[in-house]
Amino acid sequence: MRLLLIITLAGLVGTCSSAPPVLDQILDTGELRVVTRNSPTSYTISPDGPTGPEYDLVRAFAEELGVTLVMETVDSVSEIVPLILSGRAHMAAAGLSITDSRREYLNFGYPYESVDVHLIYKLGSGRPRSIEDILDLSIEVVASSSHVDVLEELQQEHPELSWTENADVEFADLLTKVAMGEIDLTIADSPDFNIQRHFYPDLRIALDLNVDDQIAWAFPRGIADSLLARADEFLIAADHSGLLARVHDRYYGHTKKYDYVGTRNFIRHYESRLPRYRAMFEQAGAESGVDWRLLAAIGYQESHWRANAVSPTGVRGIMMLTEATADYLGLDDREDPETSIAGGAEYYARQTERVADTVGEPDRTWMALAAYNVGFNHLKDARMIVEWQGGDPDSWVDISAALPLLSQRKWYTQVPYGYARGWEPVLYVNNIRAYYNILVWLTDQEEGIDSELNEPGAPSDTA
């Protein structure tokens, strides 16, 4: 089968050898045709349009060339090389690793990212500590991926090593199968693992099979040298200008290891930063009917109580309001702390009002916070999924399990508002709950009250 594929691809290369330089074709036709993977780590369609790290970069490249970007998505890595060699795509921007087997047919450009390649197992199943430990375990990987090359190299030293290749799944699907106990092991690049571990906490790294695996755009050999050179110039400039870092932070910044409670820093900021804004939070709480400490917890999660905070995506101020949200609320200056806090309180209160009347506290609060973060329409989609699964859409426990599914193609293609980075609102709510409980404890200590921590909306012993 592998030999047949090589012969077929070699034939395709031969038929493309007489074509004019690819860059000239692109500039003449005014179109840059790019193949990519339909994946959150490459390209997806959201309610707001195309999104994804590869899309952001290649769109900027097309704009620099002054041509229209035409994206073609595939569901399998195995479809990428034939599309390039047939001439249907000028290049691939699909998170491809640079491998010797791919170099037979493709040229790779400037490595704009590096990833680690992990062997993944499920906590409690016994951690493999060497290749010898995995010889009798079930291993499944994505067909035609660089992970097959990794296993084939290992097989040279361990001939008894075996695995299954699946062309009908994405990397995230196999991580799910490990978490569900359907297979023992899979191989994942660090970005995919870092995303999936947030909603499958039992996933663990058994071994690092490769470190700093280079990721690059891919081009047909011979006829695309001028396009490759132009792309390299663009990516090197993007690296120097910080564009690469901004794109990476936008899509992967949330996956960095984070101390969710951060108690020591939080208490220090409670003493050093909050006093400047506490009266503003208290006033906004009184006007909106929201516990001011909950508003302060939102503010800390959003900006760590910094009035001049600006995110890579352009949200600003203590409550990190988007320009669209500020316009919706009629705010003139979202960087003014009093305006930002009042606007955040009003926006949160409106989300609370939109939550179904059947939802009680504290679930109502958690759902409103999730809507504040990800948008109310995605919360509605999560409720729909819970209903399909036979759960309770009025339960935050069930909603928090459904929200991450909005990042999986199996689910987000079935709901009205599509893809969302659904793990983010879950982490967001968990962080705010922790900050709120600390604030309750700290303010009670100020008043000399020895009480237990309360959830918003729950009866207070100090009332």
Sign of the four-CA dihedral 448, 451, 453, 454: negative
Q: How far apart are CA 270 and CA 277, in angstroms?
A: 10
Residue ranges of the chain with pLDDT lower than 50?
1-17, 257-261, 449-453, 458-463
Q: How far apart are CA 258 and CA 431, in angstroms?
A: 10
Q: What is the pLDDT of residue 90?
A: 96
Q: What is the pLDDT of residue 313?
A: 62
Q: How far apart are CA 301 and CA 433, in angstroms?
A: 10
Tokens of 224: 């695309």
Instruction: Spell 162-201 as b/e; 16+ CB within 10 A means b.
Output: ebeebeebbbbbbbbbbbeeebbbbbbbbbbbbbbbbbbe
Q: What is the pLDDT of residue 393?
A: 93
Q: How far apart are CA 139 and CA 168, in angstroms?
A: 16
Positions of CATH 1.10.530.10 in the chain: 263-446
Q: How far apart are CA 28 and CA 11, in angstroms?
A: 26
Q: How far apart are CA 179 and CA 201, in angstroms?
A: 9
Q: How far apart are CA 334 and CA 314, in angstroms?
A: 11
Chain-centroid distance of CA 295 in Å reads 26
Q: What is the pLDDT of residue 455?
A: 53
Cis before residue 159, ω within 30 degrees of 0?
no
Contact between residue 415 and residue 408 where contact means Cβ atoms under 8 Å apart: no
302 in catalytic set: yes
**CATH code that applies to domain 115-210:** 3.40.190.10
Q: How far apart are CA 108 and CA 89, in angstroms?
A: 15
Contact between residue 116 and residue 189 where contact means Cβ atoms under 8 Å apart: yes
Q: How far apart are CA 392 and CA 453, in angstroms?
A: 26
Backbone angles phi, psi at 27, to 5 degrees: -70, -35
pLDDT digits (tens, 9 = 90+) for 2-25: 434 443 444 444 444 455 788 998
Q: Please give the CATH topology (third level) of the domain spanning 263-446.
A: Lysozyme (1.10.530)
Q: What is the pLDDT of residue 462?
A: 30
List the alpha helices (DSSP H) in 121-262.
Answer: 146-157, 171-179, 190-196, 225-241, 243-252
Of the candidates 176, 173, 182, 184, which has an alpha carbon nearest to the alpha carbon of residue 206? 184
Output the furthest CA–CA distance in the chain (Å, rounded).
Answer: 84
Contact between residue 185 and residue 127 where contact means Cβ atoms under 8 Å apart: no
Positions of CATH 3.40.190.10 in the chain: 2-112+215-253, 115-210
Q: What is the pLDDT of residue 262?
A: 58
pLDDT digits (tens, 9 = 90+) for 182-219: 999 999 999 888 877 755 778 899 999 999 899 999 99
Q: What is the pLDDT of residue 414?
A: 94
Residues 6+ apart with CB under 8 A from 365: 294, 352, 455, 456, 457
Q: How far apart are CA 206 and CA 120, in angstroms?
A: 6
Contact between residue 61 and residue 231 where contact means Cβ atoms under 8 Å apart: yes
Instruction: Spell 315-349 as b/e; 16+ CB within 10 A means b.
Output: bbbbbbbeeebbeebebeebbebebbbbbbbbbbb
Tokens of 252: 């992967």
Give the pTM: 0.58
Contact between residue 362 and residue 460 where contact means Cβ atoms under 8 Å apart: no
Write down the catalytic residue from 54, 113, 170, 302.
302
Other beta carbons within 10 angstroms of residue 220's beta carbon come to 27
Q: What is the pLDDT of residue 202?
A: 84
Q: What is the pLDDT of residue 70?
A: 97
Tokens of 156: 């040279």
Domain 2-112+215-253: give its CATH architecture: 3-Layer(aba) Sandwich (3.40)
Tokens of 229: 């050179």
Q: What size, in residues, is the chain? A: 463
